[in-house]
Structure 1
């Protein structure tokens, strides 16, 4: 039966093959491959622009976006219903996505849908839901003409919903409001629609009611996609032009690029050129994602697909690049602003001999996550490693987990820091590594001032937790704190939007955990960069037996130096193994020691074998022991093991 199906299928326009195992993607298990149905016997030439809809799903984290994508794939026959009755997170292909239940990498899926004797090609370009992956959201929206704004009927509008809505509105996308989880007992659809009307100006009659879990209302969503979202524009007779919005890596085929065809037709064997790099390539394979790779013979205007063209280096696949046919110049598209790293951390192997393997693993992962910046660095305590820049603390944690899951890396991650501006008399330097920060800020000499990045934060919280949230913001040096109520129930307001500006350094460690703890999990948080501001910052170093440990250096605000110094000194006192001599553990700012703990020495009972005799006999042995320990303390060296670094820098001790 299988052989007969393959022979029949090869005679059609599509040539189906099992999905390739690439180095960048965790395979979604055999269940996905069994659930995927072969593409229908259709010809892509039968899908002009007016039969194509390109859309994305935007939502706050945990509002049911991945579940809705599953139902759309099932309703259009792209995947079969699993044996357990429902597919779970089909487009979340990474292990970290399935473990955490979040989307961190945008995916694409093409669906064929029949309505009123006409067949449509629907291209779903999935988006993450967390603020740290906003660059992925922006790239996905660039290839779409519309978006489904998904809101949880029990939780209402959340902070990230505000951010992604304004991003979609700025790009001119048609917004279809969708209310999810209406089957829950706690659902309040009328109240949430009133929120959407007051915040977004959305007409309540335009809101669709669905339950992605049960499948209720999914057919209405498909009809709305066809009726409300405008088709892409493009001419098949024009010069070929394509927009590159994502890329991945295959060890056999090189860089695989996801493109949106703007004009013209692209066929296998044709030669194309990059507007950004001016390099030329020959198309060796192209096709659509259904949701796995399905090769085709051509891609037409308005369609979204992948291309393989023997591109070897990831730097050649410039996100936002315009591709054109060799010899035909076209007007380039605007492209994207490069992602700006906001959180930096050093990554070192537990075993220093594993550094080449770790560096290769980091290169492989950055092929699929182009927002990560990489730079080599070395530490006297940890050896050779890499300094990586991320878009946020969750982005950093996800990258760390992917290194461990997909590449079996055993690593130590230093404390995260943010980029600071050190303004000298003749230049301004961006410092992301605490070891490069000046030890003493002397405004009369070389350094004029130090600036730290600040963000504009938005917190949506129930009214009863508003006081707790304001206290939390003030504890983290927030300024310009303001709030307004989003909607009212009778005379009592139910939820408030709290806005403020605060230093980015205050939210990269454990601010989000405190936010959820103090609001019983009901608060939502979002932020955007707001420039730099002058601040009183100092460099804190830690000394073991009067010798500094460079990997533990921190940049802190003067108002918190005592608290942070005492906390970290106590951490070190717990994890450092005892030595044969007394070890002072100190936190210092410049030449000032602001906190100290003393690790007592291991002592042998040198008088255990002495029986009888004068007491001076015992005192002589004890004095010899003291002198030996004083000598060891002068010349002794405290080796901080890698396990101790891991304990200190792990999140559970933060």
Structure 2
């Protein structure tokens, strides 16, 4: 055990984490020749295209230092604010981490929040400045920022270029010397932590775990503590680039188990694996159920695909523990699921993965957050969907979630950023200079205001220089109203939203104007209305497509023309009674992009 090192790499998005992982794999000869490619661990097409890590990955490397062979287990983590649960999961399975900071950009919001996660778990932190080969690098300034953040000695900070490989051997030395070996007793009852799982169509669910105490052998009868299910360990092994089977895995090591599990509900990330005949006294603590923050309805385009969508979501949930879903139905869209996501990027990724990996085309409704609704008797219900809001007359108050946001930016963009946050009903709570002309702004903001387009706007007004991180702080009472969109007098529940009373009229007006552009013309007029309760606050009309029925009348009495027009009018009226308005998918998406 003294020669095992478990570590992760934490960084802000796009600070060179995956490239550094590539170099470590190359130097330890874990990946050679034709297997070597950029972003080896990012195996999803989406990850390569966007240059972000979405899933955490684990891989084992062998490294020789002073004649001793060491086993290094790297548990790679995502960098985007939406995936912080993945980071906490990986951190709980490590004893140390590399904190990577970009020499051209310096310390950013996600760097700070990931660092706090690592310090909470008492990890040994090795600070690394990356991209020192870039022309725009300023490593000395970045070094001062890290010293201020960590309070460490400047000599402890390593400098490297993950692209050229400069400084990588020193990082491997530091991993061996500075990160402590795992603690644990190989003879104690088995206690292993599940930190990830993937679905294999031929072998069922492959579960990744770290053994804290005890030893697991091939063929052992084990049980998962939280679910209570029992399985035989058909195959055990360690995680090289491909799965490498082993007969046993002892305390301190990371590996996988295949036991023919077919149902995704049986595997919970953060669960504990132990032996059936000699169980451990208590489960591993520190893992919590993931709380989704943004909710949206996901519906199949063809209603017959409902069951296929269910199985696709279940398989996706296996290697995305934070996705939650429950069945729901909508008058406009039929049967579908109300899904919970961590944020907007997460929602986009899930939609894209459903399309690419499962060939499922879906319609996604307007995203919203969860609200606490108190009735006049003092009972509280959580509402994830505007359609589930109780009758207005019974509501005492509605509370919405607030976040504490930290934005790091250059001082020249401070004005526009403060204006943006105030327009989103935010309150500035603190501002401080980190170094030079970089400052950190702290805001309290309603989560409902930032789920749609806040991040995009922040990036555009700061020319990409602002970094953003947040955590949920509390629920606060708010003056919220339900805004309904009616088409020909019928509410389209998929387009309803809960919004602040002050914004409702302008939002309703903009939604009606946008829908007028997007809904195709029919044989009859379509009235698009925005309503709060029984009060109509905005209206637009999509004019009907008309045939010129009077073309054959040349001259003669006007009553002939009127007779034909009346006949056409009666036909249109009858058609309107049975006609339904089709709302195209781009209308749902356009509502998200409203300015």
TM range (shorter): over 0.9
Structure 1: 5+ residue stretches without partners: 1-48, 489-493
Mapped partners of 2:134, 2:60: distance in 1: 30
Moved more, 294-303 or 219-228: 294-303
Match of 1:530 in 2: 473
Match of 2:17 in 1: 65
Contact kept, 8 Å, 2:453 with 2:592, in 1: the verdict is: no
Of 369, 373, 376 in structure 2, the residue corresponding to residue 422 of structure 1 is 373
Deviation per residue, 1:19-76 (Å, 9 max, x gap):
xxxxxxxxxxxxxxxxxxxxxxxxxxxxxx1100000000000000000000000000
Of 89, 97, 107 in structure 2, the residue corresponding to residue 139 of structure 1 is 89
- The offset of 1:330, in angstroms, is 1.7
SS at match of 2:550: coil
Mapped partners of 2:262, 2:361: distance in 1: 28
1:553 matched to 2:496 = yes
- The offset of 1:252, in angstroms, is 3.0
Mapped partners of 1:111, 1:393: distance in 2: 35
1:569 matched to 2:521 = no
Of 590, 611, 618 in structure 1, the residue corresponding to residue 561 of structure 2 is 618
- The offset of 1:580, in angstroms, is 2.1
Moved more, 598-607 or 466-475: 598-607
Structure 2: 5+ residue stretches without partners: none
Contact kept, 8 Å, 1:321 with 1:335, in 2: the verdict is: no
Moved more, 386-395 or 329-338: 329-338
Moved more, 512-521 or 574-583: 574-583
Mapped partners of 2:561, 2:5: distance in 1: 91
Of 291, 297, 308 in structure 2, the residue corresponding to residue 357 of structure 1 is 308
Mapped partners of 1:581, 1:87: distance in 2: 58
Of 416, 441, 444 in structure 2, the residue corresponding to residue 468 of structure 1 is 416
Contact kept, 8 Å, 2:511 with 2:591, in 1: the verdict is: no
In the alignment of these two chains, the number of paired residues is 592
1:109 matched to 2:59 = yes
Mapped partners of 1:558, 1:653: distance in 2: 20
Moved more, 243-252 or 50-59: 243-252
1:158 matched to 2:100 = no
Distance 1:608 1:245, change over 3 A: same
Question: What are the within-5 Å matches in structure 2 for residues 40-439 of structure 1?
Answer: 49-82=1-34, 87-331=37-281, 332-424=283-375, 425-438=377-390
Mapped partners of 1:377, 1:646: distance in 2: 21
- The offset of 1:453, in angstroms, is 0.7
Match of 2:396 in 1: 448
Contact kept, 8 Å, 2:366 with 2:592, in 1: the verdict is: no
- The offset of 1:544, in angstroms, is 1.1
Distance 1:559 1:81, change over 3 A: farther
- The offset of 1:615, in angstroms, is 3.0
Deviation per residue, 1:339-383 (Å, 9 max, x gap):
001011111111112222111111111111121111001111111
Of 485, 491, 496 in structure 1, the residue corresponding to residue 433 of structure 2 is 485
Question: What are the within-5 Å matches in structure 2 for residues 572-651 of structure 1?
Answer: 572-633=515-576, 635-641=577-583, 644-649=584-589
- The offset of 1:463, in angstroms, is 0.4
Deviation per residue, 1:417-448 (Å, 9 max, x gap):
100000112410000011111353x4xxx211
Mapped partners of 2:150, 2:107: distance in 1: 10
Match of 1:512 in 2: 455
Moved more, 139-148 or 555-564: 555-564
Contact kept, 8 Å, 2:264 with 2:314, in 1: the verdict is: no
Distance 1:354 1:274, change over 3 A: closer
Match of 2:482 in 1: 539
Distance 1:399 1:511, change over 3 A: same
Deviation per residue, 1:68-115 (Å, 9 max, x gap):
0000000000001459xx621111111221121101111100000011
Match of 1:23 in 2: none
- The offset of 1:651, in angstroms, is 7.7
Mapped partners of 1:92, 1:592: distance in 2: 52
Moved more, 248-257 or 121-130: 248-257
Mapped partners of 1:140, 1:648: distance in 2: 36
Distance 1:651 1:70, change over 3 A: farther
Mapped partners of 1:95, 1:103: distance in 2: 11
SS at match of 1:570: helix
Moved more, 311-320 or 372-381: 311-320
SS at match of 1:63: coil
- The offset of 1:630, in angstroms, is 4.5
Mapped partners of 1:614, 1:103: distance in 2: 75
Mapped partners of 1:258, 1:583: distance in 2: 55
Contact kept, 8 Å, 2:10 with 2:77, in 1: the verdict is: yes
Mapped partners of 1:206, 1:359: distance in 2: 50
Distance 1:452 1:596, change over 3 A: same
Match of 1:17 in 2: none
SS at match of 1:78: coil
Mapped partners of 2:591, 2:147: distance in 1: 40
Contact kept, 8 Å, 2:479 with 2:500, in 1: the verdict is: yes
- The offset of 1:398, in angstroms, is 0.6
Deviation per residue, 1:434-484 (Å, 9 max, x gap):
1111353x4xxx211000011100000000001111001001110243211
Mapped partners of 1:129, 1:136: distance in 2: 9
Deviation per residue, 1:392-433 (Å, 9 max, x gap):
111111111100111111111111110000011241000001
- The offset of 1:652, in angstroms, is 7.5
Mapped partners of 2:272, 2:574: distance in 1: 69
Distance 1:324 1:626, change over 3 A: closer
CA RMSD of aligned residues (A): 1.6
Match of 1:38 in 2: none
Match of 1:42 in 2: none
